[in-house]
Structures are given as C-alpha cells and as structure tokens.
Structure 1
Amino acid sequence: MPDMQEVEVLLELISEFNSGIPFWVSYSCNSELKTNAGQEFSEATELVNSHKDAFAVGVNCTAPNLINDLLKVGNSKLPYIVYPNAGREWDANRKEWSGPTSGSFSPDLIAEWIDSGAQIIGGCCGVSPKDIESINIP
C-alpha cells in the first residue's frame, strides 16, 4: 500500500470484521525512505505495529537497494516481509524501462535484509519465479 490513510481504513475494517486472523501490511516506498504517498516509513510501521493481529510489516514494489535502509528506519517490533521489484525505473521520455534485466538479488543484499529483520523474502515487478527460486538464504 502506498498510503498510511489507506492502511488506517484497512485496519479499521480488520478490527471490525477480522476475528483474530493474523495479517501483515506491506508498503511501497521511495528513495526518500518514505511511503510512496510521502509519509515517514517509521510512522507507517508504527501504525501496523499498533494492531493486535498484525504479525509483520512489509516493503514491496520498492527498489532492492532501498530495502535495508527502510528496514533500519522502520524500527518495527514485528518481523519484516520484503518483496522488492527488480530495481528497474520507468523512463517517461523514452517510454521504456531501464535498469537491471534480472530480478535476482545478491547474497550480500539478502544477508543485510535478514540482519535488519526480514523473515520472509520474495519479489514483485520484474522478479521471476526463477529469481525467487535462486534466493539463497545465508
């Protein structure tokens, strides 16, 4: 989710209709260590941490090189779930994607994520099932 306001609505609905079923909320973020809506990631994680049935906070659809810094500033009491994109960027002038053609993540990057609290690791846009299969947890 890109916006804490959407998460607030979601948490209200979960509180009303969810009878103790565990869930996580995942945010898409940008290079300023904020959600895509511009809110501080630490405040976004705090919002999810406040719900009794939340079991994790996630970061998704975010460039892999931003994940570790986000996890560090997030300061979550809950474990992290990360499923970054492949790190490609849209070039609006050329109307095409640029950047890595593979969605594989380096072992060093994965180790950093784990050291910062990631317990579930996957991928989204541009990351293939083969890339996921090749993830080697140190």
Structure 2
Amino acid sequence: MLTSNQAHGMTYAEAAREITARLAQGVDGTVAAGAIQLAIEAWQCLAGTDLAWDRYGLELLDVRARLYSDLDDVVVDAGAPVRDDVETRLAVTTMLEQLARYHDRRAGDDREDLARRLSHDAGAQQLRRAVAALV
C-alpha cells in the first residue's frame, strides 16, 4: 500500500494511477481495498456535480459491503479529487477497470469456494457498471 512517505503530496490522479499499476501486478487484497477506498472518496467529493456519480456510488457501496467489509482500515494517503474533470474521470475509470480485472481473476480462482467466486464475478460486473456511468 502507499505509505505516508510515498503518497505525501500525491494528487488524487497520481494515487489512482499508482494503485492501478499495483493492481496490474497481481492479486493483492490490500491494494484492491485501497482502490475501493479511493474510488469511494471520489464519489463522496464529486457527488452532486453530475448524476452519473450517484449511479457510480451505488455500485461501489454494494461492492465494498460485500467484498471489502473486513478491510475498512485501509487508507490511501493522497489528496482528494478537487473537480470533476477529464483527468479525474480517466484516473477513476482506469483504476476501476483494473480492479474489475482483479475480481475476474479472483472469480476464476478454483481455490476459492463457489459462493466467493460468484461474489467476485458480481463485483467485477458492478465495477464495470460504475465505469460505464462515468464514461
């Protein structure tokens, strides 16, 4: 995860890109939890600027409740998004697309029980709906 020293002074978009890169490297539940936390922060800061953020937020809250309730203590130390602009949306959607791929990998892992694999599959679909709301 990003330590305070690594993330100090990072903008929201920089932190999202760093998490996206780390997610692409493999299966890491802590980094995935950081992605959800950062994605929800965008919703909390930008809701009200466009109804798309409301649709986005509903999908994320369900994914967090179902798949990340045991990782609520993960924190990404980075600046909050300050405006709903192209850079912010691109950073968020790219990160969520990578997070959806992470859940696809988890859904295909036969070491997990069926119910958990189905939850990961549903999570991946919801993350893609959240992305679609913003594009």
**Which structure carries more relative contact order (alpha carbon 8 Å, separation 6+)?**
2
Structure (1 or 2) with the greater strand fraction: 1
Superposition TM-score tier, normalisation by shorter sequence: under 0.3
Q: Normalising by the residue count of structure 1, what TM-score does the alignment of the two structures yield?
A: 0.27
